[in-house]
Amino acid sequence: MGRSANFIAWMLAITGGCGVCSGAQAQTKLAPLWEEGSAYRVASEVSLQVPSQPALGSDANLVSYYRAGETSLVDEVAAIKAELKKMKDKAAKAKKKADSKPTVTAGGRIYADWAAFGQNSASLNQAGDCLDGAEFRRARIFLKGKAFHVTDYKIEMDFAGQTTFKDVYMTIKELPVLGHVRIGHFKEPWSLEEQTSSRFITFMERSLNNVFSPQRNMGVMAFDHSQDVRSMHAAVG
């Protein structure tokens, strides 16, 4: 019983002391979180409260809080922008210089068709004997390139069956009024299906309606497109 009474007395004494300390701290004015007297504001290590809006001088900058003598964030951003502009100008100059030199790119394509037929007597009577076989549908090789920034060219030949010229032309670009002028053997600007390369058509062959397309011919063509590249015009002769 005696030990229990002593324990209760000690607990009451400790509780009372804590209450006195808490009351003393409640009456003490807390230091503001943001200290004054420098070119920037720092949080005080002894503060226990955060003001809703820290007081800033009239010359305070919300973008940067740097000590006097140090480079400001605004100056650093300006320096980075200047460096980026130099890099872009240098890249544009290098591209223009590269475009001014003649270039040559070689390429080609090979398409091979193979067919095997199974026929009954009715098919033989109606269509005759369809022979199995294989052939090169396309066997092309080309050279193309650019020169002097405003000129491009292409030479393409097809060796499947009878050797023929495909695209053989030269283009002069960015001419006043006319836009671009192409001279040689090339596709006339007719039929979207015909203008689509055989590498990208949906089926093995183009549709039957494509027989009305003039395809490739010798001539001269002036063409250009709108600023938003949504429309184009061409004149062929």
pLDDT per residue as tens digits for the range 148-190: 888 999 999 999 989 999 999 999 998 998 999 999 999 999 9
3 occurs within a structural domain: no
Q: Quick one: 177 and 197 in the same domain?
A: yes
Whole domain around residue 225: which residue ranges? 102-120+131-236
Q: 101 pLDDT band (50/70/90 cuts)?
A: confident
Q: Quick one: 115 and 228 in the same domain?
A: yes
Q: Quick one: 82 and 116 in the same domain?
A: no
Other Cβ atoms less than 10 A from the Cβ of 36: the count is: 10
Work out how many domains the chain is built from and give that number: 3
4 occurs within a structural domain: no
Q: Quick one: 40 and 80 in the same domain?
A: no
23 occurs within a structural domain: no
Q: Quick one: 89 and 178 in the same domain?
A: no
Q: Of the spans 23-37, 45-59, 213-227, which averages the highest pLDDT?
A: 213-227
Distance (Å, whole) CA 2 – CA 200 = 100
Q: Quick one: 193 and 205 in the same domain?
A: yes
Range from 42-46, 143-147, 185-189 carrying the lowest mean pLDDT: 42-46
Q: Which of 108, 84, 85, 88 is nearest to 96 (CA)?
A: 88
166 occurs within a structural domain: yes
Q: Quick one: 107 and 200 in the same domain?
A: yes
pLDDT at 210 over 70: yes
